[in-house]
Every structure is written in structure tokens, then in C-alpha cells.
Chains A and B, each alone.
Chain A
Amino acid sequence: MPTEQNATGARKVFDAFCEYLDEHAWKYNKDAQQLTISLNAKGDDLVIPVRISFDENLHIILLLSPMPFDVPEDMRKPMAVAVTAANLCIVDGSFDYNVENGNILYRITSSYRDGAFSKESLEYLLMCACVTTDKYNDKFKDIVDRKVSTDEMQKIIFNKED
């Protein structure tokens, strides 16, 4: 159960995040009770939805960006290889893949314990979520659309990073 002190810390980060978004003219929706923010960024290929929330027990900021498609049932096991290949090439954050229902989302976190946040760090997290999701969402979509196999995509991902 979050303590009042934990909730105050989360609210400070929530307020700072909203201020940052206002200063940079982002359009977003916020829930001041639940301390959540949602926005859509425009990617090269697909819209990038980003949900921002706070884990008041762990004192972490969470940014989640779900892919706007699901992996069909017959492709769920082989997709794991492509997702792990992408994660290996990412310095910060990771793609979480629910093998049971085919959802993929990008997750990046940072601690705000003892006031460890700034507008620069919040901007970094948001940019990381947008850039990384934009880099890989079309690759995952190509697999789902059966344009490339997971083995081919694995090679594409690793070759680009080599």
C-alpha cells in the first residue's frame, strides 16, 4: 500500500511531467487522481501511444508504449526470437512480449527515489520511448504481416547494429 509520502513523491514527478509536456506543446490526457498521463506521438510509420504512470512502492516512473497490433497465435513462439534480438540492441528499456495474447509493448523506467528526476530526465525517457518504439514497431509489424520471417528479421536487426 503506498504511503502518503510515496504518493507525494509521485505527484511531484507527475506535476513536473505535465509541466514539461505543456512547455513543449504536447497534447495529452491526464488523470490527476490515478497519476497517469497518456499521449500519442507521430512516428514514421505508425502512431506511437505512450502511457506514463508511477509505481509508488518502487518509486519508479514507468513509460509504456504498446504496439497497435497483436501477434497472431501461430506466430507467437517464433516472435520471441525477434523481440529478444531487438532487446539485445537496446541500451535502455525493453520490449515486453505477452506470449499468451500476442501483445508487445516497450517499457522504460527510471527511479525518482530521493527526488532523482528532472525535466531533462523526463524528456529523455519520453524521447527514448518514442524513438525506440518508432525504430522497431514497423519491424514487428512486417513479421505480423508475413512480409519477413522472424529469422530474417533477426538478421536485419543484428546486421544494422553490427
Chain B
Amino acid sequence: MADKKALDVFKTICDMLDSHHFNYVKDVEKLTVRITMSGKDFSMEFKLWLYEKSDIIIFDCTLPFKFCEEQRSNGALAVCYINYHLADGNFDCDVRDGRVKFRITTSYRGCNISTGVVDFMFNIACQTVDRYNGRLALVNQGKLDPKDITKNL
């Protein structure tokens, strides 16, 4: 069973989502919320969860496509170019199976988390994924050079 602090933070995440009237699926035992958002290129599947071992909130979003085998090293390269330009959060690329995920975290150790913090994390995650998922898909299709992925945004 999760501790009270984690449950309070989890409630704050749900309160933020409720305040926006978002539809989501929550699992209180696993301290996890799943939500689908519509982006300009793809729909985005978000998982909002607590990693109690480190007292951190993690929002992650797995992209709806995988890099094909011949483009995986380019996928890794593209993700490096993007991450270098991000102030908060990062993309992870698994070169073993081609999956790409965006991840953003914040610590709640010894402090109170407001709905404003959760709202900020969710906005950054949605904006960043929406900004880059179409471009990452173009790299996967061989239509965009990884070094150009952050240009003219």
C-alpha cells in the first residue's frame, strides 16, 4: 500500500486532470493514471505515475510508432539532437526494439506538490511530444536527416 504522501500527490494529479475535465483511467494501487490526448499528428498515450522509491512523479508518453531496424541508429541520433535543445524532460530511444518515449519528472520528497506543478509537467509533456513526434516519424521514414530535426521549429 502506498504511503500517505504518495496518495496525496496522486490525488493532486487526479485533481488537475479533473479540473480540465479530461477522461482518464486510474489505478490507485499502482499509483498510475493513463490518458489519451489528441495531437496535431498523432494521438498521444500518457502514463502519469509515482516512483515511490525516489519520491518522484513521472509523466511518460510512448510514441505510437517504433523505429524500423535500419533507422534505429538515426533514431538515437535524432533523439540526442532533440534532448540537447530541451530545458525539461527528455526522449528515450530503445535501439533494441525501436520504441521512443518522452519522460518528464519532478521530486516530491519532503514538499507539497500543487496542481500547478502537475499542470506544468503535463503541458510541457504534451507540447514537446506534439512538437517532435511528426518529425521523429519522418526520420523513421528516411525523409528527414536527424541533424535537421530541431531546425525551423
Contacts and interface: CB of A to CB of B under 8 A. Distances in A.
A45 B56 CA distance: 28
B100 to A, nearest CB: 10
Interface residues of B, number: 39
Contacts, number: 118
A133 B125 CA distance: 25
B76 interface: yes
If over half of B's interface residues share one DSSP class (helix, strand or loop), that class is named, otherwise mixed; here it is mixed
B84 A97 contact: yes
Nearest to B95: A81
A111 B121 contact: yes
Interface residues of A, number: 40
B41 interface: no
Interface stretch (A34-42, A119-127, A138-146): A119-127
A18 B117 CA distance: 23
27 contacts: A55-B87, A59-B120, A77-B73, A81-B76, A84-B80, A88-B92, A88-B93, A91-B58, A92-B51, A92-B56, A94-B90, A94-B92, A96-B84, A96-B86, A96-B90, A99-B77, A111-B120, A113-B120, A114-B112, A114-B116, A115-B112, A116-B108, A116-B112, A116-B114, A117-B107, A121-B108, A121-B109
Interface of A: 55, 58-60, 62, 77-78, 80-81, 83-85, 87-88, 91-94, 96-99, 107, 109-111, 113-121, 124-125, 128, 154, 158
